[in-house]
Amino acid sequence: MSKQIFVNLPVADLDRAKDFYTGLGYRLDPMFSDENAASFKISDEIYVMLLVHDFFKGFTDQAVADTATHREVINALSADSRAEVDALLDSALAAGATEPRQAQEEGPMYGRSFLDPDGHLWEVVYMDMEALEG
């Protein structure tokens, strides 16, 4: 059985966050969503759990990171092509994300990144495996 990951992110405005992730094409799972949290399926193995700050604080004794001044994590998603990287970034920007830096290209790797409306950093990366083998 494959393992799953549930990325839990604190959000200031749950409705705004739900609109953003829906704008990326991800499906809200109503079974695991309520007024405190929203669950989005990224793939069969990856889920994003959006938790309002007060609910998020119930799972930790530490303060919620201020994403304007601190980076708590960098979430990275793989893509099957450069076009898929660009398409996801286009969707993210249209849904309200910002792109903190220009596209990165190192040999067979191509990636771009975005900050969601709560300042969580996401990278989308394509790795040309054929170029690595050759």
- Residue 21 pLDDT more than 90? yes
Pure H helices in the chain: 14-23, 53-57, 82-94, 129-133
Phi, psi of 75 (to 5 degrees): -90, 130
Q: Is the pLDDT of residue 22 over 90?
A: yes
**pLDDT for res 134:** 63
pLDDT at 74: 95
pLDDT digits (tens, 9 = 90+) for 97-127: 999 999 999 989 999 999 999 999 999 999 9
Q: Which residues contact 57 (CB under 8 A, 6 or more apart)?
A: 10, 64
The CATH number of residue 97's host domain is 3.10.180.10
pTM of the model: 0.90
Q: How many domains does the chain have?
A: 1
The length of the chain in residues reads 134
pLDDT at 2: 83
For residue 23, name the pLDDT band (cuts at 50, 70, 90). very high
Mean pLDDT, residues 53-63: 95
For residues 86 and 75, the answer to whether their CB atoms sit within 8 Å is no
Domain residues for the domain of 115 are: 5-133
Over residues 76-96, mean pLDDT: 97
